[in-house]
Amino acid sequence: MPERRVDGIAKSEAVGWSSRGLSKPAASPLRILSGQLSDIPIGKTMTAVVQNTKSGVFTITLNGETLTLKGLPPTLTGKQADFIAQQGKSGGRTMTQLFWTGISRSNQPAATPLALRSALPAALSPGSAISARIESVQAGVMQLRIEGGAKQTIATTAAAGFKTGQTLNGIVHEIDGKPVLLARASQPQLQVGSRQAEPGITPLVLRSALPAGVTAGSAISARIESLQSGLMQLRIEGGTAANHTITTTAAAGFKTGQLVNGIVHEVDGKPVLLARTSQPQRQAEPGITPLALRSAPPAGLSPGSTISARVESIQPGHMQLRIEGGIASNQNIITTTAAGIKPDQLLTGTLQEIDGKPVFLTHSASSVEGRELLQQKSALPTQPTAPVNHALANMRPGATALAIVEKVLGNGQVQLSLQGNRINTPAPPSIAAGDGLIIKMTDKAPSFDVLSVQQNVIGKAHALVRQQAATNIPLADNLTAIRNLLAPLPVEAMRTIPVLAQLEGWLNSATVDPESPLNGERLAGMIQQSGQLLEHKLLQQGPLTASTLQDLKAILLAIASSPLTESSIRHLAQRLSELGHSAASRIESTQALNLLAQTHADPIRFELPMLVNQQVVNVQLSVEQQELADGEAGQMSNEQAGCKVLIALEMSRLGKLRVDATISDKAVHARIHALPEARDMMQSHIQRLESRLLNLGFSEIYLITTPAQPAQEMQQRFEQLEQMKPASPGLLDIRI
């Protein structure tokens, strides 16, 4: 998002929504209105379906006991959620308290193995992706018609939840020499015959009996103890079968000591573990070139560090690179060579460790041929120069940005989309529509260098939004679950574990109360630390700055991947990792939507969790730069057209609040839609808000609160914002 948009928002000052609040964040137990906790086991995670009886009051059934309670977010209604009972103190006495720990994993669709009952079409083999529609389900067998290609039919075993007319997407695997389709319904459509296997999922056939208590559908977390003669021995960690060992077939990418997570399924009467490792495999992905280091990494660089380095010389078998920027600026490293890399080329990537040795994973630059490969020209024959200069004028020398290749024009030129403007520029033949270019402005405006080429970023963004649409959980729900999980821990544990101390610091910065009211400056800071801009900050500032270390996405990724071995928290490590991964995935979904929005002139979105009255509130923000009409452009050439801003949030006491605002250099127009009881409270703040806006220099202010619903078109836009749906009709194909 261009900085000018953030600045535009920061001019306004919003109402402090809470009337009171505590200075220190602390998770609160659920308030039990009826039912007894005496028969609920302490410390055991239990699952229940949440029913909403009336506003803010819910019922659940745990261990046979029906409980009526308050304190859950409305978004849990109808879903399975996990709960845990803990001993706590209230009023000087010890009592049992109930906490919500997150959305149950059973809400998330898992791949289902379908054994093939017919031969595979000639074009398909293990590893192929299939998209097929169910034509019939009879006598335990489904007939599927493959979509695309030859549109052939295949027969598979039937499974619960699959119905005639549904579209299945999945990957063909081979188990004990027989083809099996690992399928999901309503997932991203994959090109038939492609080799882009589902990331991370590997079927492992069990060669030993399942431990007691483990059956089809059971989730397993196990560590690989040994690999011998095509077999792996795994020791289960946690659960009823803790410390039991199982033996499975081996598979590429699995190593001794790795932690494997998966679900047990039954295929043709045989148990199969659909497994994924707890950490991403260190394999080169498309567009990534691994360069083994032939010299020690400079001080301050470690696995995970971001590096930008220029190729100084290439000798037989090795290259010398000079690091540009960051903690190791101007230091040299020596690496292996790779095809397509040339002297004076700028490489960016991350330092990783593979088999105990340092490796520089750099974006494959076969299409990047030196400093002069892609440079923006000041004279563009097929495009007016004014919008181009306006787009680049907002970028200072050294600034980085992502430009999307919209189309290949021929004659060695491409059309880029950069910050809402279109630019034509020379490019090599290997650049394709949908690619992303990480660019860096030079001192000689309006020119830029290309730091790296990200292949098919638009296609990857489509796939990511599709994949996560069905299981996308609001950030506030995940953060509430993390806080509730950590609630029983002593304060010292929170402060001595670095990543948890960072999380506590972030929650403090997101607290809104009378002592820390929400104003324009704080809102701009929350946007900066919301996780949406993490990659931009890493590229611009490096990984070890305060800004990146305090970023929400960076904290969540650390929670998801850090081995929490401290004794006080070890029992919570796996659940914390899952919640961290879920929350980080939510941020990545918003980033993918914003990337797609760049190509369709859609609004930019932000999800800003705030701590209000000890409740984590999800504040969703949509910002759209408005265009001036032709007649207005001449009269208003010295001022911006303004931003269309939508704000949606829901609080337990006030219900849904929706704000439809237009903000420009001198004017603020806002309509606040609220329930009648909330409207009275909001109305009492209107005059004070108007005074603050006048003091900030706005001369035209129009604020109104109304209990009426927004008009139909605006109602649809609010629903798109709240449900994380694309706004453009051109993106209808990825709506779930």
Q: State the pLDDT confidence band at 21, using cuts at 50, 70 and 90.
A: very low
Name the most confidently modeled range: 90-99, 275-284, 411-420, 587-596.
587-596
Residue 692: per-residue pLDDT: 80
Please, which residues bridge with residue 86 across strands? Answer: 97
Q: How far apart are CA 519 and CA 470, in angstroms?
A: 34
- Tally: H helices and E strands in the chain: 14, 37
Residue 53: per-residue pLDDT: 67
Mean pLDDT of 15-26: 27
Per the model's pLDDT, the better-predicted residue between 279 and 603 turns out to be: 603
Q: State the pLDDT confidence band at 641, using cuts at 50, 70 and 90.
A: low
The verdict on pTM exceeding 0.75 is no
Residue 384: per-residue pLDDT: 31
Residue 628: per-residue pLDDT: 52
Mean pLDDT of 130-147: 85
Which token pair is 170?
């999945």
Q: How far apart are CA 721 and CA 431, in angstroms?
A: 33
Res. 55: pLDDT tops 60: yes
Per cent of the chain over pLDDT 70 is: 76
Buried/exposed 167-182: b ≥16 CB within 10 Å, e otherwise: ebbbbbbebeeebbbb
Residue 724: per-residue pLDDT: 81
Per the model's pLDDT, the better-predicted residue between 502 and 308 turns out to be: 502
Residue 92: per-residue pLDDT: 65
Question: What average pLDDT is seen over the chain?
Answer: 74
* Residue-level length of the chain: 736
Residue 203: per-residue pLDDT: 78
Q: State the pLDDT confidence band at 619, using cuts at 50, 70 and 90.
A: very high
Mean pLDDT of 277-283: 43
Give residues with Cβ within 8 angstroms of 401, minimum separation 6. 395, 418, 419, 438, 439, 536
Residue 446: per-residue pLDDT: 64
Q: How far apart are CA 72 and CA 69, in angstroms?
A: 8
Res. 383: pLDDT tops 60: no
Q: State the pLDDT confidence band at 247, using cuts at 50, 70 and 90.
A: very high
Per the listing, tokens 């040795």 go with 357
Q: State the pLDDT confidence band at 524, using cuts at 50, 70 and 90.
A: confident
Residue 363: per-residue pLDDT: 57
Per the model's pLDDT, the better-predicted residue between 136 and 237 turns out to be: 136
Res. 336: pLDDT tops 80: yes
Res. 8: pLDDT tops 90: no
Please, which residues bridge with residue 439 across strands? Answer: 401, 450
Give residues with Cβ within 8 angstroms of 316, minimum separation 6. none
The torsion defined by the Cα of 400, 551, 571 and 110, in degrees rounded to 10, comes to -50
Residue 733: per-residue pLDDT: 44
Name the most confidently modeled range: 81-85, 127-131, 677-681.
81-85
The answer to whether the CB of 28 falls within 8 A of the CB of 72 is: no
pLDDT tens digit sequence for 444-498:
666 777 877 888 888 888 777 777 766 678 898 889 988 888 888 877 777 777 8
Side-chain-facing half-sphere of 720: CA atoms under 13 Å: 23
The pairing of strands 511-512 and 604-612 is parallel
Res. 348: pLDDT tops 60: yes
Mean pLDDT of 665-683: 83
Name the most confidently modeled range: 86-90, 360-364, 396-400.
396-400
- The 8-class DSSP code of residue 241 comes to T
Please name which of 615, 611, 472 lies closest in space to residue 70, comparing C-alpha atoms: 615
Q: State the pLDDT confidence band at 633, using cuts at 50, 70 and 90.
A: very low
pLDDT tens digit sequence for 30-53:
888 888 888 788 877 788 878 776
Give residues with Cβ within 8 angstroms of 28, minimum separation 6. 71, 487, 614
Per the model's pLDDT, the better-predicted residue between 718 and 288 turns out to be: 718
Three-class SS string for 557-623?
A: HHHHHCCCCCCCCHHHHHHHHHHHHHHHHHHHHHHHHHHHHHHHCCCEEEEEEEEECCEEEEEEEEE
Res. 606: pLDDT tops 80: yes
Strands, E, within 375-513: which ranges?
400-410, 413-418, 421-426, 436-441, 448-454, 511-512
Residue 54: per-residue pLDDT: 67
Per cent of the chain over pLDDT 90 is: 4
Per the model's pLDDT, the better-predicted residue between 23 and 713 turns out to be: 713
Res. 152: pLDDT tops 80: yes
Res. 238: pLDDT tops 50: yes
Amino acid (one-letter) located at 579: L
Per the model's pLDDT, the better-predicted residue between 381 and 401 turns out to be: 401
Residue 374: per-residue pLDDT: 34
Res. 286: pLDDT tops 60: no
Mean pLDDT of 74-103: 75
Q: State the pLDDT confidence band at 267, using cuts at 50, 70 and 90.
A: low
Residue 155: per-residue pLDDT: 92
Residue 281: per-residue pLDDT: 35
Res. 23: pLDDT tops 60: no
Please, which residues bridge with residue 94 across strands? Answer: 89
Please, which residues bridge with residue 180 across strands? Answer: 115, 173
Side-chain-facing half-sphere of 292: CA atoms under 13 Å: 8
Mean pLDDT of 25-31: 63
Q: State the pLDDT confidence band at 565, using cuts at 50, 70 and 90.
A: low
Q: State the pLDDT confidence band at 325, using cuts at 50, 70 and 90.
A: low
